Structure 1
Amino acid sequence: MTNKISIIRISAIAAALLALAACSGGGEDGHGEAGEAHAAPTSSSAGLPQGHVTAGEQLASAKGEATGQSCVDCHGAEGNAPIDATYPKLGGQYADYLAHALQQYRGGDREHALMSSQAKSLTDQQIADLAAYFGSRESQLRDLHDVH
């Protein structure tokens, strides 16, 4: 009788482990089949669709209707050469941060004479694309604690 109970317990534990493995995706790396590439996330933490770097690059050079300026007119090539020291470098910044900032400008929660009007007509996809593009550029950001 003891052997029968042990076999039932072992079977139950094995079934539970198989169920857990199926829920976690299994595989050697815990992400599906061994060596299988993971699909890109479908949205950002800002609730936007997945951004496309190529579309963002084109959009960054397109003149906005509100001001007649493009992103690179003020923030420079790849977002790393602003025309004014008060304009931030965008290249290499976290894409989610950039997306959130553009959403705030668009919604009026953050204000700037040029940025508020530039962002007002941007769609969620355009914001995601711009954030993906500038986030993918080489970073020239620096920690202000290191400035002497």
Structure 2
Amino acid sequence: MTKTPLAIALLAASLALAACTPADETPAGHSSTDRTEGHSSSSAGLPPGNVEAGEKIATTKNFETGQACVDCHGPSGNAPIDPTYPKLGGQYHDYIAHSLQMYRDGDRQNPLMASQARKLTDQQIANVAAYFHSQPTKLRDLHGLD
């Protein structure tokens, strides 16, 4: 799989942010209101997301694939069925939004994710990103490990 420079840059930026944030600390630019009320701005150029609408999308099976987001990523995005699948619960809103946009537009390659994202509108992507961002996180960084 060939990674585009943008995909590599996004991955590097998200890893750098995660490495700088202790697991018990809210990342800069995030607040408890971001998690519960949806995210109000996006570097992905998306409208504000709606957590409840995002939950409906995340738990409804896609007509083309027969899969819902939670079928692979687990309830609340925290229990993937395969260890190579990412945990989405509590993930940065913009990371999820950019990733879904890239899958939809063909700039990021994965056959299942491309077919899941192919018909998502910008509003639906914003909603899904708001939902997964609002969930409790099981994401951890390497802070404090020797």
Aligned to 2:50: 52
**Within 5 A, what are the aligned runs for 1:18-33?**
none
Q: Tell me, in whole angstroms, the C-alpha distance in 2 between the residues paired with 1:89 and 1:138.
A: 11
**Local SS of the residue matching 2:128:** helix
What's the offset of the Cα at 1:56? 0.4
**Local SS of the residue matching 1:46:** coil
Aligned match for 2:74, one of 65, 73, 76: 76
**Local SS of the residue matching 1:84:** coil
Q: Tell me, in whole angstroms, the C-alpha distance in 2 between the residues paired with 1:147 and 1:62.
A: 38
Matched residues, percent identical? 65
Aligned to 2:93: 95
Amino acid at match of 2:132: F
Structure 1 unaligned spans of 5+: 1-39
Q: Tell me, in whole angstroms, the C-alpha distance in 2 between the residues paired with 1:50 and 1:135.
A: 13
What's the offset of the Cα at 1:65? 1.9
Aligned match for 2:64, one of 56, 66, 72: 66
Aligned to 2:112: 114
What's the offset of the Cα at 1:141? 0.4
The normalised TM-score by structure 2 is: 0.69
**Local SS of the residue matching 1:114:** helix
User: CA distance change for structure 1 residues 81 and 42 in 2, over 3 Å: closer, same or farther?
Assistant: closer
The normalised TM-score by structure 1 is: 0.69
What's the offset of the Cα at 1:107? 0.3
Deviations 1:34-81 (A, max 9, x none): xxxxxx875411000100000001110011122110000000000000
User: CA distance change for structure 1 residues 86 and 146 in 2, over 3 Å: closer, same or farther?
Assistant: farther
Q: Tell me, in whole angstroms, the C-alpha distance in 1 between the residues paired with 2:142 and 2:125.
A: 27
Aligned to 1:30: none
- Equivalenced residues, count: 109
The structure that has the greater radius of gyration is 1
Higher relative contact order (CA 8 A, sep 6+): 2
What's the offset of the Cα at 1:147? 7.2
User: CA distance change for structure 1 residues 144 and 111 in 2, over 3 Å: closer, same or farther?
Assistant: farther
